[in-house]
Structure 1
Amino acid sequence: MSTTKTILITGAGSGFGEGAAFGLGQLGHKIIAGVQILPQVTEMRKKVEALGLQNNIEVIKLDILDKYDVKVALKYDIDVLFSNAGIGESGPVFEIPLDLVRKNYETNVFAPLELSQQFISKWIKAGKAGKIVFTSSMGGLFTPSGYGIYVSTKHALEAVAEALADELKPYNIKIQTVNPGAYLTGYNETMAENAFRWLDDDVNFTKHADMKANFDSLLGTPEGRLDPQEMIDAMIQIVPSDTGKFRNVVPKFVEDMLKDHQLKAWENTI
């Protein structure tokens, strides 16, 4: 691949996706910034213009669950797919409504896989090298109580990515994951709130107060409110690179925690 890349980013309307789009654009890459809804298109284009990045960033509507949006996205000739879009459902696994589970998997696993398959097919037919970077999570490697469904989608994405990485080596198509810690983008906080749409103290065994205390224990500490710029800075180096690690956990203390957690899992008892 050349030094300057054409990169399609899904979920570019906020958080890591938006920050990465601007950062990569400022480095000279050609960015197709896919955002979920039309109001995000307008707002993102205003920001692009304010930064003077019109020649580097093109903003399109790309709801990865919308087949018409996807059809448009597939027309672009890209070097890298940064598959970043995702949603999060929270709450106890033994009580969460299954329609919410299916919705979380549709957005976080099935739609990214389908989009990836289609770009992979294009690249193979054209004899072109390519790269896909999936936004996974620290939760792709461990399971905190209250977030079991969301992180199970990231566990699934980890498996998908690992298989793709091996399968696509003969075609010179590379696969990576980025695994953010608990950065304060608003994503984790709104995901925690999602449980309170359906949790009912009169119906569910899990009570509002107990669930809120659980979320606060995870997100109410400095380690749960990290500055997202650190992750964005890592992303803009990882995403266009031709070399690097398959899995990229940031920050380092989270990587160390995950390794320790996985080692201790072998000693867990019931």
Structure 2
Amino acid sequence: MLKTILITGAGSGFGEGVALGLGEIGHNVIAAAQSWPQVTQLREKVARLGLNTVRVEKLDLLDTYDVAHALGWDFEVLVNNAGIGEGGPIAEIPLHLVRHNFEVNVFAPLQLTQQAVKRWVYAGKRAKVVFVSSVGGLFSPPGFSAYAATKHAIEAMAEAMQQEVQPFGIQVQTINPGAFLTGFNEAMAENAFRWLDDDVNFTKSDALREMYKGLIGNPEGRLDPSEMIARMVEIVSADGGKFRNVVPQFMEERLRKHQAKMWDLRFE
């Protein structure tokens, strides 16, 4: 059954790929991008591809006028994909950067979701919310903790929400991508070096770069995003499915082992 799907953060990366992929199989897609240059670029791409099922709109989740406008659109699937990442050691990262990361990744999508869900409930509409989380929502790698904390928050909200809204015919799912090479993780890592100062911080730049190299500077940290996009298209368009969706499979297995290991972690 074809659906009308709103995807936030569709101006690049997974959001753009999933919007186009869903449009290619016939779904009506509202691809929402943060800025007008992204909107223009994506509209041109959609036109070149002849995807008349994809409509590109501007939606900055921190712009109250954009959000109010978006709530006038008719859709039954909301994909909360928009997000940013602040890198750096959590012991030293400036707090205002952490707050902003939470504002964009947690509070803004929660506000949009609450209002969409309320509308669906009162209309008696069967619908679905998909939160694009991360494997970082299930563990917290050094140097990426501020971002991971926002995804841990998403996991907590989604877990409770899926129980709260199920009686109203609304499904909630999370998608937890691993380290795919979209440029997002690389940009997040580089963000730290705009404030990290070897004369001020006890975490030194060379040590942090080596840490990032170990995390995302190898084949398992630079996976082909086409695999993730294909799975996201399947998950978003399905009527049912798992609550939590970790991709690739080997990361699910590692996360299970990691979480068990943390239960037994001891300091002598």
TM interval, short-chain normalised? over 0.9
1:173 aligned residue: 170
Does the residue aligned with 1:86 lie in a helix, a strand or coil? coil
Structure 2 residue 172 is matched with structure 1 residue 183:
no
Residues 184-234 of structure 1 show CA distances to partners (whole Å, capped at 9, x for unaligned) of 000000000000010000000111101100001111110000000000000
Inter-partner Cα distance in structure 1 for 2:199 and 2:87: 19
Does the residue aligned with 1:199 lie in a helix, a strand or coil? coil
1:97 aligned residue: 94
Q: 1:242, CA displacement in angstroms?
A: 1.0
2:50 aligned residue: 52
Give the partner amino acid of 1:128: K
Give the partner amino acid of 2:253: D
Does the residue aligned with 1:168 lie in a helix, a strand or coil? helix
Residues 29-61 of structure 1 show CA distances to partners (whole Å, capped at 9, x for unaligned) of 0000000000001100000001000x2011001
Inter-partner Cα distance in structure 1 for 2:177 and 2:36: 27
Inter-partner Cα distance in structure 2 for 1:189 and 1:166: 35
Q: 1:265, CA displacement in angstroms?
A: 1.2
Give the partner amino acid of 1:213: E
1:110 aligned residue: 107
Q: 1:72, CA displacement in angstroms?
A: 1.1
Inter-partner Cα distance in structure 2 for 1:27 and 1:134: 21
Does the residue aligned with 1:238 lie in a helix, a strand or coil? helix
1:206 aligned residue: 203
1:258 aligned residue: 255
Gaps of 5+ in 1: none
Give the partner amino acid of 2:42: M
Q: 1:120, CA displacement in angstroms?
A: 0.4
Give the partner amino acid of 1:266: W
2:13 aligned residue: 15
- The one of 17, 22, 25 aligned to 1:24: 22
Q: 1:125, CA displacement in angstroms?
A: 0.9
2:123 aligned residue: 126
Inter-partner Cα distance in structure 2 for 1:96 and 1:156: 19
Q: What is the CA RMSD across the aligned residues, in angstroms?
A: 0.5
Inter-partner Cα distance in structure 2 for 1:114 and 1:79: 17
Inter-partner Cα distance in structure 2 for 1:169 and 1:13: 31
TM-score, L = length of structure 2: 0.99
Does the residue aligned with 2:98 lie in a helix, a strand or coil? helix
Aligned pairs (5 A) from 1:142-157: 142-157=139-154
Inter-partner Cα distance in structure 2 for 1:261 and 1:211: 22
Give the partner amino acid of 2:118: S
Q: 1:148, CA displacement in angstroms?
A: 0.8
Inter-partner Cα distance in structure 2 for 1:71 and 1:108: 18
Residues 157-182 of structure 1 show CA distances to partners (whole Å, capped at 9, x for unaligned) of 00000010000011011000000000
Q: 1:129, CA displacement in angstroms?
A: 1.1
1:61 aligned residue: 58
- The one of 223, 240, 248 aligned to 1:243: 240
Give the partner amino acid of 1:47: K
Seq. identity, %: 61
Inter-partner Cα distance in structure 1 for 2:90 and 2:180: 23
Inter-partner Cα distance in structure 2 for 1:122 and 1:52: 32
After TM superposition, the runs of 4+ consecutive aligned structure 1 residues lying more than 3 A away are: none
- The one of 223, 247, 258 aligned to 1:226: 223
Inter-partner Cα distance in structure 1 for 2:202 and 2:259: 30
TM-score, L = length of structure 1: 0.98
Give the partner amino acid of 1:16: F
Work out the number of aligned pairs and report it. Answer: 267
